[in-house]
Amino acid sequence: TAAPVIIAVDGPAAAGKGTLARRLAQALSLPYLDTGLLYRAVARRVLDAGRDPSAPGAEAEAHALAPSDLDRTDLRTPEVDRAASLVAAQPAVRAALIEVQRRFGRESGAVLDGRDIGTVIFPDATVKLYITASPLTRARRRWAQGLDVAPVDGDQTAHIEAVAAQLAARDAADSARAVAPLRPAADAVVIETDAMDAETVLAKALQVVRTRLA
Ligand code: CDP
Ligand code: CDP
C-alpha cells in the first residue's frame, strides 16, 4: 500500500501557515492539524496553574492534554503566545507531543503546520513547505487579524511596530532553542509570500504538491 501523504507546513509566526495548511487539507481531502495549538494548550494549562512557563516541568501539562483543551477560545492571546514559545523550548514538552502528532498523520495522511514538522516530526514527509514573509508583512497580517495586539498608546503604525517586536522576539526564541529550532528542512520548498495573497500561495503550494505526487 502507498505511504500516507504527509504535507509539512513550517515557518515563522503569522506567515500564513495555518491559512495555507487548512486550504491545502480541504483541497486534498486530508485531515489538518495545527500543531501550534498543542503548545498553546500546554502553555494555557501552565498559566492556569499559576506556574512559570519558563520553569522546567511543563511536560506534566503536555501529558494531561485532552482534546477539549484545543477548543479553548483563549489560546491566541499575547500572554499565551509568549508562554507557548517558552514551554516549546523544553525538551520534555516536545518529547511528550511527538507521538500524538505522528499518530495523527500516520493512518490516512495529513497536513500539519508548525515549526519542526519537516525537520523532526515527519522528516520523510511527502512535501515540505516553508512559508515565510518579511517581519513587517507578517506584523501587518497579524495586526489585521486583531490578535496578538498588546495595548499600545498611539497610532496604527505604533501598533504594527509593537506586533512586529512581539513576533521578532518569539521567532528569535524559536530559532535559537537547542531542540527542534525553527528552520527550513534541507529539502523544503521555501515560499516567500510578501507579494502573494492567500489564494496565490495556495495555487503555488498545490503546484508543488501535484508535481511531487505525479
Ligand atoms: O498560521 P500563521 O500564524 O503562520 O498565519 P495565519 O494565522 O494563517 O495567517 C495570518 C493572516 O495572514 C491571516 O489573516 C491570513 O488571511 C493572512 N494572509 C495569509 O495567510 N497569506 C497571505 N499570503 C496573505 C495574508
Ligand atoms: O500562529 P503562530 O505562528 O503565531 O504560532 P503557533 O504556530 O500557534 O505556535 C505558537 C508557538 O508554539 C510557537 O512560537 C513555537 O514556540 C511553538 N511551536 C513549536 O515549537 N513547534 C511547533 N510545531 C508549533 C508551534
Alpha-carbon distance of 5 to 24, in angstroms, equals: 12
Taking residues 67-80, report their average pLDDT: 96
How many degrees, rounded to 5, is the angle at CA 146 between CA 145 and CA 147?
90
Tell how many helices (H) and how many strands (E) occur in the chain. Answer: 8, 5
CA of 12 to the centre of ligand 1 (A): 11
Residue to probe by mutation, ligand 1, list 23, 132, 141, most atoms within 8 Å of CB? 141
Spatial contact of 125 and 7, defined as CB atoms under 8 Å apart: yes
Taking residues 71-78, report their average pLDDT: 95
Taking residues 70-97, report their average pLDDT: 97
The ligand minimizing its distance to the Cα of 112 is 2
18 is in an annotated binding site: yes
CA 120, 106, 91, 183 dihedral sign is positive
Of residues 159 and 98, which shows the higher confidence score? Answer: 98
Does pLDDT of 113 surpass 60?
yes
Query: In sequence order, what are the residues at sequence separation of 6 or more whose Cβ sits closer than 8 angstroms to the Cβ of residue 91?
Result: 178, 179
Q: Sorting pLDDT into bands at 50, 70 and 90, what band is 145?
A: confident
Of residues 214 and 154, which shows the higher confidence score? Answer: 214
Q: Which of 57, 129, 128 is nearest to 93 (CA)?
A: 57
Does pLDDT of 48 surpass 80?
yes
Radius of gyration for the chain, computed over Cα atoms and rounded to the nearest angstrom: 17
- Mean pLDDT (the chain) is 95
pLDDT tens, position by position, 165-203: 999 999 999 999 999 999 999 999 999 999 999 999 999
* pLDDT value at residue 155: 79
* pLDDT value at residue 45: 98
* Three-state DSSP state, 10: strand
Q: Which strands sit side by side in the sheet containing 189-192, from one edge to the other? A: 32-34, 110-114, 6-10, 127-132, 189-192
* ipTM here: 0.98
Regarding the beta carbon of 45 and ligand 2, being less than 6 Å apart is answered: no
* pLDDT value at residue 176: 98
* pLDDT value at residue 153: 60
Percent of the chain with pLDDT over 90: 89
Does pLDDT of 33 surpass 80?
yes
Spatial contact of 15 and 145, defined as CB atoms under 8 Å apart: no
DSSP 120: I
For cell 494555557, name the residue.
Answer: 44
Alpha-carbon distance of 124 to 173, in angstroms, equals: 26
Taking residues 133-148, report their average pLDDT: 88
* pLDDT value at residue 17: 98
Does pLDDT of 151 surpass 70?
no
Does pLDDT of 152 surpass 60?
no
**Closest residue by CA, ligand 2 atom 8:** 36
**What's the predicted TM-score (pTM) here?**
0.96
Does pLDDT of 149 surpass 60?
no
Beta strands in the chain (DSSP E): 6-10, 32-34, 110-114, 127-132, 189-192
Beta strands in 3-143 (DSSP E): 6-10, 32-34, 110-114, 127-132
Provide the CA 177 distance to its chain's centre, in angstroms. 15
Query: H or E stretch including 160?
Result: helix 156-176
